[in-house]
């Protein structure tokens, strides 16, 4: 019994060490990941407090000062309508974050629910879900978004108009809402399959671990077992996927806005700003550079953070 | 220690058979096992790996893995058949009336949940306790199983505890709801020898305090000698011998049991160069011989052993000692 007393000594007094604390410790050692985290937090700050940070309104035009190169008054210059590019980039950050977070949240949620249920119950349900997953992944993303947009936009617009006529609430005349709902919706509907696959694979391996059998031997109900014993133990890799997925969602949003099927002007998005800038980049490169740099910065940061998290959460894979 | 004879046993398993679905059709893993556990009795279930000891116990609680299913028999526990019970009721028995302690404490605790919460889980579910009550009780339970600084340990994660401590936590979880029966599935196999003895001592203490019945599954006959009242020896999915522990050790009547006992190393055997073992391996499920399953490895097998399987019958002179061997009487005489 004396060795037990010893063990007790050296554990007591220390704060409980857990996976997240360990992971955070390892993440701190990774300079790239830490820098990325700082960049992401800075961008998030800009996104959240954008309206208070912008020097100008993102819509206000100054037709006398069009296409100006960067000056002290307009650090990123002005665009072809004389709008302040810095303000627009800041609002673009807002758009990018709103879209990325909502899309990833919805997609992850769909992925967790479908993946966990498919993995846990298996059988016909599993086959059906995986069949549906494969089918969704096999259709080109762009095509799917165009189809979803084209088929959902008219009925949604009609419904909004009907609501407006009924209630006269101006919120229903706001086309930005339609854009966002459609962009979120269609993007979430095409990005969930990888999450579902990942969660399913994890659940398949966790499902047969002894502590799950032990939980069943305690008489715990299936929902409790799935929610408390299986899903939390299956989420490690998902965190990495979500971090990378946020970056991907930003690129996707920009791509769609670039093509004109995402967020529509005058709402600024990095994608539609890049599209606008691309037409005149020989003469006014700053119009392309500003949003493109932001997009690149955000994407690279999320990607490196994802890598860092991967190493931090799976220390065995290192070196 | 043993319960009074005439009363109804706490658990009465009759002719339990379990099959696994394989590519070549169903293969029988457990073939008509019958055993009883009296109130307050500790039963040792002994046998080599793969003889069906764990599956027998898992099947009682409906915890068999996929593709393995019970195909016959009954298991009367407190007057109700566990094998025929609706799932909802069975869940109340699990953890509530029958506690289970698993083999490997390193993997049988949820790594992302604090141990306090894991001990509280059955209390919250089966006893409808408030969180505060359950937490208090969890602290008492950890103290009961001899964990130093029990209160503080409630907030530890499993990986902060040693294997022996974790197995104590598992026992605390198994006993949380004062079950009438504790099934321990090789609870010491994954532990150091010194810790094994500690766990056995703790279970003995708890049994004295709480008076529950215990089924202790193991392949280590030596370890449980001082713990159990009676031993059931399984071989290839059948019971080959069932006897009070002292009788079994002094007078093993089945050649397999004798082999098991002989294979326990002893310091006294100075002359012996090699450790004694039983030659061969148990037959695979689905490929069991027509006669006695042990015949191919049996040192005293004879012609009749290959034709028919011997039934489990009381040894000459009656009593609680039962053996499934044609030669049982002769062996018993020879030893005596």
Cβ(B324)–Cβ(B238) below 8 Å: yes
- Predicted complex: ipTM over 0.90: no
Flag whether pLDDT at A307 surpasses 90.
no
Using a CB-CB cut-off of 8 Å, the residues of chain A touching B58 are 213
pLDDT in tens, A109-154: 999 999 989 998 888 999 999 999 999 888 888 888 888 777 877 8
Nearest chain B CA: its distance from A211 CA (Å):
4
Shortest CA distance to A47 belongs to which of A100, A96, A84, A99? Answer: A96
Flag whether pLDDT at A282 surpasses 90.
no
Reported as type and span, the H/E element at residue B57 is: helix B53-60
Q: Which of A104-113, A206-215, B224-233, B288-297 has the lowest mean pLDDT?
A: B288-297
Shortest CA distance to B257 belongs to which of B308, B309, B317, B323? Answer: B323
Q: What is the mean pLDDT of residues A86-93?
A: 84
Q: Least CA distance to A211: which residue of chain B?
A: B108
* pLDDT value of residue B270: 60
Q: What is the mean pLDDT of residues B304-331?
A: 79
Angle between helices A175-207 and A236-258 (to 10 degrees): 150
Give the model's confidence band at A7: pLDDT under 50 very low, under 70 low, under 90 confident, else very high. Answer: very low
- How does strand B68-77 pair with strand B80-81? antiparallel
Cβ(A290)–Cβ(A85) below 8 Å: yes
Flag whether pLDDT at B34 surpasses 60.
yes
Asked if omega into A266 is within 30° of 0 (cis), the reply is yes
* pLDDT value of residue B1: 44
What is the rounded CA–CA span in Å between residue A130 and residue A144? 18
More confident residue, B209 or A313: B209
Q: Which of A223-232, A272-281, B119-128 has the lowest mean pLDDT?
A: A272-281
Tokens 């309206």 correspond to: A51
Q: Which of B78-82, B172-176, B268-272 has the lowest mean pLDDT?
A: B268-272
Cβ(A301)–Cβ(A39) below 8 Å: yes
Nearest chain B CA: its distance from A23 CA (Å):
14
Nearest-CB residue to B61 (from A4, A217, A224): A217
Class of residue B146 by CB neighbours under 10 A (exposed 0-12, middle 13-18, buried 19+): buried
| Contact between A217 and B102 using a beta-carbon 8 Å cutoff | yes
Domains in chain A, CATH or no CATH each: 39-317 (1.10.3720.10)
Q: Which two tokens stand for residue B146?
A: 């001899």
Flag whether pLDDT at B2 surpasses 80.
no
Cross-strand bridge partners of residue B231: B44, B243
Using a CB-CB cut-off of 8 Å, the residues of chain B touching A21 are none
| Contact between B95 and A233 using a beta-carbon 8 Å cutoff | no
Q: Which of A248-252, B308-312, B327-331 has the lowest mean pLDDT?
A: B327-331
What is the rounded CA–CA span in Å between residue A128 and residue A126? 5
Nearest chain B CA: its distance from A21 CA (Å):
12
Cβ contacts below 8 Å, chain A against chain B, sum to 91
Dmax over CA atoms of chain B, in Å, equals: 67
* pLDDT value of residue A1: 41
Query: CA–CA distance from B42 to each of A204, A230, B76 (Å)?
Result: 37, 34, 17
Q: Least CA distance to B124: which residue of chain A?
A: A220
Q: Which two tokens stand for residue A293?
A: 């740099």
* pLDDT value of residue B271: 61
Phi and psi angles of residue B7, each rounded to the nearest 5 degrees, phi first: -70, 155
Nearest chain B CA: its distance from A119 CA (Å):
14
Class of residue B334 by CB neighbours under 10 A (exposed 0-12, middle 13-18, buried 19+): exposed
- Contacts for B264 with CB less than 8 Å, ≥ 6 apart: B221, B222
What is the rounded CA–CA span in Å between residue A98 and residue A46? 12
Q: Which two tokens stand for residue A274?
A: 């890049």
Domains in chain B, CATH or no CATH each: 9-94+229-267+276-336 (3.40.50.300)
Angle of CA points B321, B327, B329, to nearest 5° = 45
| Contact between A221 and B170 using a beta-carbon 8 Å cutoff | no
CA quadruple A41, A50, A187, A198: dihedral, nearest 10: 10
What is the rounded CA–CA span in Å between residue A303 and residue A296? 10
Flag whether pLDDT at B215 surpasses 90.
yes
Asked if omega into B20 is within 30° of 0 (cis), the reply is no
Nearest-CB residue to B122 (from A210, A211, A218): A218
| Residue of B148, B174, B186 to mutate, testing the A interface (most A Cβ within 10 Å of its Cβ) | B148
Flag whether pLDDT at A72 surpasses 60.
yes
Q: Which of A122-136, A231-245, B104-118, B309-323 has the lowest mean pLDDT?
A: B309-323
Nearest-CB residue to B148 (from A8, A210, A232): A8
Q: What is the mean pLDDT of residues B196-216?
A: 89
Angle of CA points A259, A45, A22, to nearest 5° = 105
| Contact between A17 and B160 using a beta-carbon 8 Å cutoff | yes
Q: Which of A45-49, B155-159, B181-185, B328-332 has the lowest mean pLDDT?
A: B328-332
* pLDDT value of residue A13: 42
Using a CB-CB cut-off of 8 Å, the residues of chain B touching A238 are none
Give the model's confidence band at A3: pLDDT under 50 very low, under 70 low, under 90 confident, else very high. Answer: very low
Give the model's confidence band at A315: pLDDT under 50 very low, under 70 low, under 90 confident, else very high. Answer: low
Q: What is the mean pLDDT of residues B20-25?
A: 85
């Amino acid at each position: 019994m004396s060795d037990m007393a010893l063990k007790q000594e050296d554990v007591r007094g220390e704060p409980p060490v857990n996976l997240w604390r360990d992971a955070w410790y390892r993440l701190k050692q990774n300079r790239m990941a830490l820098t990325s985290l700082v960049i992401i937090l800075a961008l998030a700050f800009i996104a959240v407090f954008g309206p208070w940070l912008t020097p100008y309104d993102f819509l206000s035009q100054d037709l006398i000062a069009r296409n100006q190169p960067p000056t002290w008054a307009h650090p990123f210059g002005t665009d072809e309508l004389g709008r302040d590019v810095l303000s627009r980039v800041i609002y673009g950050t807002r758009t990018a974050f709103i879209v990325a977070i909502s899309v990833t949240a919805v997609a992850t949620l769909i992925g967790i629910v479908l993946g966990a249920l498919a993995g846990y119950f298996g059988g016909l349900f599993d086959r059906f879900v995986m069949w549906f997953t494969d089918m969704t992944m096999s259709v080109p993303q762009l095509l799917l978004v165009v189809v979803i947009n084209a088929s959902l936009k008219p009925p949604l617009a009609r419904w909004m108009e009907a609501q407006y006529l009924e209630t006269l609430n101006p919120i229903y005349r706001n086309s930005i809402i339609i854009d966002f709902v459609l962009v979120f919706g269609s993007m979430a509907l095409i990005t969930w399959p990888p999450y579902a696959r990942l969660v399913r694979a994890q659940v398949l391996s966790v499902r047969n671990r002894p502590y799950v059998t032990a939980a069943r031997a305690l008489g715990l109900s299936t929902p409790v077992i799935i929610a408390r014993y299986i899903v939390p133990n299956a989420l490690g890799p998902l965190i990495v996927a979500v971090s990378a997925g946020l970056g991907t969602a930003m690129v996707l949003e920009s791509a769609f806005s670039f093509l004109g099927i995402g967020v529509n002007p005058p709402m600024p998005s990095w994608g539609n700003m890049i599209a606008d800038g691309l037409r005149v980049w020989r003469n006014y490169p700053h119009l392309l550079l500003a949003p493109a740099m932001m997009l690149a910065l955000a994407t690279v940061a999320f990607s490196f953070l994802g890598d860092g998290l991967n190493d931090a959460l799976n220390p065995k894979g290192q070196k | 220690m043993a319960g009074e004879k005439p009363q109804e046993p706490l658990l009465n398993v009759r002719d339990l058979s379990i099959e696994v679905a394989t590519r070549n059709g169903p293969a029988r893993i457990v073939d008509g096992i019958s055993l009883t556990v009296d109130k307050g009795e500790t039963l040792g279930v002994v046998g080599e790996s793969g003889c069906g000891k764990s599956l027998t116990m898992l099947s009682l609680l409906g915890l068999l893995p996929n593709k393995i299913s019970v195909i016959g028999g009954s298991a009367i526990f407190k007057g109700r058949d566990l094998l025929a019970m609706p799932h909802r009721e069975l869940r109340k028995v699990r953890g509530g009336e029958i506690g289970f302690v698993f083999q490997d404490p390193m993997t049988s605790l949820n790594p992302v949940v604090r141990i306090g919460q894991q001990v509280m889980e059955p209390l919250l579910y089966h006893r409808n306790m408030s969180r505060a009550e359950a937490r208090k009780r969890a602290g008492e339970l950890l103290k009961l199983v001899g964990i130093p600084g029990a209160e503080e340990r409630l907030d530890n994660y499993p990986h902060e505890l040693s294997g022996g401590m974790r197995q104590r936590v598992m026992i605390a979880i198994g006993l949380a709801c004062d079950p009438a029966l504790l099934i321990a599935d090789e609870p010491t196999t994954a532990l150091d020898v010194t810790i094994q003895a500690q766990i056995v001592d703790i279970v003995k203490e708890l049994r004295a305090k709480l008076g529950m019945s215990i089924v202790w599954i193991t392949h280590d006959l030596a370890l449980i000698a001082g713990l159990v009242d009676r031993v059931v020896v399984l071989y290839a999915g059948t019971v080959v011998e069932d006897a009070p522990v002292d009788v079994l050790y002094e007078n093993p009547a089945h050649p397999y049991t004798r082999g098991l006992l002989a294979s326990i190393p002893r310091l006294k055997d100075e002359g012996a160069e090699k450790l004694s073992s039983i030659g061969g391996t148990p037959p695979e499920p689905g490929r069991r011989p027509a006669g006695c399953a042990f015949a191919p490895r049996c040192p005293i097998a004879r012609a009749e052993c290959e034709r028919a399987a011997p039934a489990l019958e009381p040894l000459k002179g009656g009593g609680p000692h039962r053996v499934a061997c044609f030669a049982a009487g002769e062996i018993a005489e020879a030893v005596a």
